[in-house]
Amino acid sequence: RAKQDGGNACHVFHPEMEAALQDRLWMEAELRQAIQDEQMRLYYQPQVDAEGNIIGAETLIRWQHPEHGMISPGAFIPLAEETGLIVPIGQWVLAKACERLAHWATDPALAHLQLSVNVSVHQFQQHDFVAQVLATLADHHAPPERLTLELTESLLLANVEGVIEKMMQLKHHGVSFSLDDFGTGYSSLAYLKRLPFNALKIDVSFVRDVLVEANDAAIVKTIIALADSLQLKTVAEGVETLPQRDFLAQLGCHHYQGYYYGRPGPVEAFETLVTPPPAQRTTLR
Ligand code: C2E
Ligand code: MG
Ligand code: MG
Ligand code: MG
């Protein structure tokens, strides 16, 4: 506890601050342990095209804590970013994804699938990020054309030229890019046309109330029109109902992801969805 009497003392630690700090330190130590002990899990959520065919998946990390159970990324990715632990975590995610892509490449029923991986700003900003991605693809014999990296607008706050350069290098090797959570950040339209993205992901927060909020409908409509004019695909996130999907389809949205099609789950569940045993074969729509 900082001294609360004398003169100029201004660092008064409140009990809540102490608790928060303890929590952070605890969490950081646990996170380091988690990486060592391989407590992370990679979940897969299907992405479908306008006909309802599964075209791929997004990988979403989960932390299977031995005592606290499954922890969602929202609870630990921000701290992992701050502490730099996102770098080893991100490398693990990429390795897992490449391992899976290599496996899919050997199976004609799965070889067409695209795998989207979330990349943090801190991770992307590593000076050797491009080399890391290419080495991981090569180590696993994974096809670069099947890998999509999801970046967020926060990446564009600094050094856009550097970002373009890295994206171009990876694109040259066949890797694709999606702009995640589009519309929630700060991206400038001037940058957007210079960045080699393949798709814009319409954020869950706009899709959620798209049928009841005129403003959200207007935003979604604008995003799709913008993407069309820049020749980018659109992927709607957080599609939970058929009416939402139909509304988005009417606006010309290309791809869909959300609980309506499938929740994030273990890779086996995703693969079963793509190639169900003959008796339960149906099309999603
Ligand atoms: P994101 O990349 O925008 O992922 C979409 C989030 O929406 C996921 O949350 C997903 O589970 C959720 N979602 C999918 N469909 C629906 C739906 O129909 N309704 C609703 N309400 N939500 C839906 P999740 O898995 O909790 O991940 C949250 C965020 O954590 C991700 O947002 C991403 O920014 C980050 N994240 C996840 N995995 C990784 C990773 O491997 N690396 C990094 N750097 N970040 C990750
Ligand atoms: Mg994402
Ligand atoms: Mg998103
Ligand atoms: Mg998000």
What size, in residues, is the chain?
Answer: 285
By three-state DSSP, how is residue 116 classified? strand
Handedness of CA 42, 82, 198, 200 (dihedral sign): positive
Instruction: Name the residue of 31, 44, 60, 240 to mutate for ligand 1: max ligand atoms within 8 A of Cβ.
Output: 60
Answer whether 116 contacts ligand 1 (Cβ < 6 A): no
204-225 average pLDDT score: 96
How do strand 54-65 and strand 233-236 relate by DSSP bridges? unpaired
Q: Is the CB of 204 under 6 A from ligand 1?
A: yes
Residue-wise pLDDT for 207-217, tens only, equals 999 999 999 99
Cα 60 to ligand 1 centroid, rounded to whole Å: 6
- Please state the ipTM of this predicted complex: 0.97
Enumerate the H helices of the chain as residue ranges.
Answer: 15-36, 77-83, 86-105, 121-124, 129-140, 160-172, 189-192, 204-207, 214-229, 242-250, 267-274
CB contact at 8 A, 270 and 262: yes
Looking at 58-72, 132-146, 185-199, which range is the least confident one?
Answer: 185-199
Query: Which of 58, 204, 209, 211 gets mutated to test ligand 1 (max ligand atoms within 8 A of its CB)?
Result: 204
C-beta of residue 133 within 8 angstroms of C-beta of residue 94 = yes
- Whole-model pTM over 0.80: yes
Contacts of 143 (CB under 8 A, 6+ apart): 101, 102, 105, 137, 174
Residue 4 has pLDDT above 50, yes or no: no
* CA 179 – ligand 2 centroid, Å: 8
Give residue-wise pLDDT tens across range 43-94. 999 999 999 999 999 999 999 999 989 999 999 999 999 999 999 999 999 9
Selected residue with higher pLDDT from 270 and 184: 270
Q: Is residue 95 in contact with ligand 1, taking CB distance under 6 Å?
A: no
